[in-house]
Amino acid sequence: MDRQTTSSHTCVERLLLRNFRNFFCGSFEPPLRGMTAIVGPNGAGKTTLLEAIYYAINQRSFRVVDREALIQTGSNTAVVRALFRCDDRELLVETELCRDQRSRLQLNRQPVRTREIRTLVPMTIFSPEDLMIVQGPPAGRRLLLDNALGLVDVNGPETVEVANRIIKQRNALLRRTGGHRSTSLVRSLEVWDEEWANAGTKLAEYREQLVSMLEPVFCELYSLYSSVVPTGKGGMSSSEGRAGVSYRRSWKGRLVDALRESRDEDIRRGVTTCGPHRDDLVLYLDSREARLQASQGEHRTLALALRMALHQLVIDRDHRVPLLLLDDLFSELDETRARALKEAMPVGQAFLTTANGLPKGVGVDQVVDVRTLQLAAADL
């Protein structure tokens, strides 16, 4: 891919952890540019380090749903403190995870919402869990698009937030009816139908525009990755197949008309049955829907191409290189293909975990044994 390198990039200057998973106390100060390989045996905390960086930005884990699983056994709180540099700004993100109360989040010592940090600190992660983006239900693919909207469009986060709020309120109204239609209910639904039709159509259009921009980059990257990586159980694909991607709406015509047509069904089921909350991002391989037809190796390649296409799209649109987190990327690759894949990665700050050491010929800027990052409490 012949793309202009951008000089502006987002990086982690320092990461401090306390009681976060297996880190009693830990500190990490990586190079501000280039790739850092995080090595160590299984269970030593390599993925946890990436998880902490991810959590600082997203306030959730890419591995588990239960927040309490992130707090070290025997502790009531965990702390993640990350100092980021974005352009010429330093951003100190501090979050305290609590078992018995709401977690606290601050940016430069002031309370802040998660979506503001996501916008200020762009980041891309690829992990084994990304197979579920291809194989799993549509909700994961919709979340991927909505998170990306916050990075490539200034109006994206508000559009997503408004749509989510309206659908929750419409669904709450439907649940309260107990499946019984009444005149007052119909009047209320007519109001919410207009609100949901406006917000839902806007969100779907934003997602469609994003997918339209994403498609050529995704197809190019899949072609590149599939030519350099092998097929194997849990590995990537050497298929010559052509990839594709499209956005599939859950309704036809105007959303307000679809809502009127589905009103009786919505009342009966107590839930809204059409709108962008039911849409899907569909991945194809040789015109076949990949979720149903592709191999495990092809799924892995598609997931990587999708993540990296969004990464490249942020670079092209925002002229910033996001952080890049790569969890166990090279585990199924031979040396030749690992080198080729590494050389295709964008320039910026990146972190790579590996339990088996780096493949021969894959150069990185720093190698860190995760076991050296544990510190005494006084050092924090």
Choose among 284, 149, 136: nearest CA to 207.
149
Task: Say yes or no: do domains 7-122+349-380 and 128-319 share a fold.
Answer: no
Confidence band of 118 (pLDDT split at 50, 70, 90): confident
Report how far residue 169's alpha carbon sits from residue 175's, in angstroms, rounded to the nearest whole number: 10
The rounded distance, in Å, linking the Cα atoms of 298 and 222 is 9
Q: Is 274 exposed, middle or buried (0-12, 13-18, 19+ CB in 10 A)?
A: buried
Of 25, 29, 36, 33, nearest to 13 (Cα)?
Answer: 29
Return the pLDDT at 238.
44
**Is the predicted pLDDT of residue 380 greater than 60, yes or no?**
no
Length of the chain: 380
* Arithmetic mean of pLDDT over the chain: 88
Residue-range domain boundaries for the chain: 7-122+349-380, 128-319
Residue 358: what pLDDT? 84
Beta strand extents in the chain (DSSP E only): 10-20, 23-28, 34-39, 77-86, 89-98, 104-107, 110-111, 123-126, 243-248, 280-285, 288-289, 323-327, 349-354, 366-369
How do beta strands 89-98 and 349-354 pair?
unpaired
CATH topology of domain 7-122+349-380: Rossmann fold (3.40.50)
| DSSP bridge pairs for 326 | 126, 352
Q: Which of 24-33, 133-142, 219-228, 269-278 has the lowest mean pLDDT?
A: 219-228
Can you give 221-284 as a three-state secondary structure string?
HHHHHHCCCCCCCCCCCCCCCCEEEEEECCCCCCHHHHHHHCHHHHHHHCCCCCCHHHCEEEEE
pTM for this entry: 0.86
Q: In the chain, what percentage of residues exceed pLDDT 90? A: 58
CATH number for the domain formed by residue range(s) 128-319: 1.20.1050.90
From the list 135, 146, 114, 98, the residue with the least C-alpha distance to 291 is 135
pLDDT digits (tens, 9 = 90+) for 185-238: 889 999 999 999 999 999 999 999 999 999 999 999 998 887 754 444 444 444
Those residues whose C-beta lies under 8 Å from the C-beta of residue 195, and which sit 6 or more positions away, are: 166, 170
pLDDT tens-digit map of 272-283: 999 999 999 999
How far apart, in whole angstroms, are the C-alpha atoms of residue 301 and residue 223? 9
Q: What is the pLDDT of residues 76-105, one digit of tens each?
A: 999 999 999 987 889 999 999 999 888 899
User: What residues contact 70, with CB distance under 8 A and at least 6 apart?
Assistant: 20, 21, 51, 55, 61, 64, 78, 97
Residues 294-307: pLDDT tens digits? 888 888 889 999 99
